[in-house]
């Protein structure tokens, strides 16, 4: 998958997610099943996930190499990266530390969507300065998945928003069928 295709999927998947959230009423946006995050919290989690990646891409390219090394293997494909993430989740992997969202109220929705869109725009613009080779050579740390090539991190980011979108839709379906 080329850089241009990656940028298109990043923008498209996040747009679908934020557009969907914009249709939720206050109850839908703020309600969570026991032990799960509300759609608002999932939005904040994504803001907390995308913003550091956008910031990392603003650093001079040699910094990640100094901090995390360079890849000595080919990047995983999109499907391989998704399977790697799903495997970690199936084995109990969860968000930790700064990636765990606070309680989110309905009045925060538009501001959080704007923050996510702003970070995504910064990320997309920064990607223009990276070559296809850079995407497969530079490494960045992921708190659950370990060191990923930049391409793998972008694949994760593309899928991550889909994962949360599907989670929210499934919770709404479950609530509908349970009579809530």
Give me the pLDDT at residue 176, please: 60
Picking from 175, 27, 173, 164, the residue whose alpha carbon sits closest to that of residue 95 is 164
Contact 21, 113 (CB under 8 A): yes
Output the CA angle 117-174-179, nearest 5 degrees.
125
* Cα separation values, 12 from 71, 109, 112, Å: 28, 19, 17
Q: How far does the chain reach from its first CA to its final CA, in angstroms?
A: 42
Helix/strand/coil for 164: helix
How many whole angstroms separate alpha carbon 95 and alpha carbon 143? 8
How many whole angstroms separate alpha carbon 117 and alpha carbon 159? 16
How many whole angstroms separate alpha carbon 159 and alpha carbon 92? 18
- Give the containing element (helix H, strand E) for 146: strand 146-149
Give me the pLDDT at residue 34, please: 81
H-only helix segments in the chain:
3-21, 26-30, 39-56, 62-68, 78-90, 109-127, 132-137, 150-177
Picking from 171, 173, 137, the residue whose alpha carbon sits closest to that of residue 38 is 171
Give me the pLDDT at residue 35, please: 84
Give me the pLDDT at residue 144, please: 95
Helix/strand/coil for 81: helix
CATH for 3-177, among 2.40.50.100, 1.10.300.10, 1.20.120.450, 3.40.50.300?
1.20.120.450
pLDDT tens digits, the chain, 180 residues: what are they?
A: 999 999 999 999 999 999 999 999 999 999 998 889 999 999 999 999 999 999 999 999 888 888 998 999 999 999 999 999 999 999 999 999 999 999 999 999 999 999 999 999 999 999 999 999 999 999 999 999 999 999 999 999 999 999 999 999 988 777 665 555
Give me the pLDDT at residue 9, please: 97
Give me the pLDDT at residue 162, please: 97
Give me the pLDDT at residue 173, please: 77
Contact 135, 123 (CB under 8 A): no
């Amino acid at each position: 998958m080329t850089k241009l295709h990656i940028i298109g999927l990043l923008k498209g998947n996040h747009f679908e997610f934020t557009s969907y959230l914009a249709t939720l009423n206050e109850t839908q946006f703020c309600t969570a099943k026991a032990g799960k995050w509300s759609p608002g919290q999932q939005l904040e989690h994504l803001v907390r996930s995308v913003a550091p990646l956008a910031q990392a891409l603003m650093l001079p390219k040699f910094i990640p190499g100094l901090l995390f090394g360079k890849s000595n293997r080919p990047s995983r494909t999109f499907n391989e990266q998704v399977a790697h993430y799903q495997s970690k989740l199936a084995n109990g992997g969860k968000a930790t530390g700064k990636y765990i969202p606070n309680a989110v109220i309905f009045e925060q929705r538009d501001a959080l969507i704007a923050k996510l869109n702003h970070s995504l725009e910064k990320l997309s613009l920064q990607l223009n300065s990276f070559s296809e080779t850079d995407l497969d050579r530079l490494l960045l740390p992921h708190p659950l998945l370990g060191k990923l090539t930049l391409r793998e991190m972008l694949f994760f980011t593309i899928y991550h928003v889909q994962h949360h979108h599907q989670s929210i839709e499934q919770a709404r379906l479950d609530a509908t069928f349970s009579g809530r």
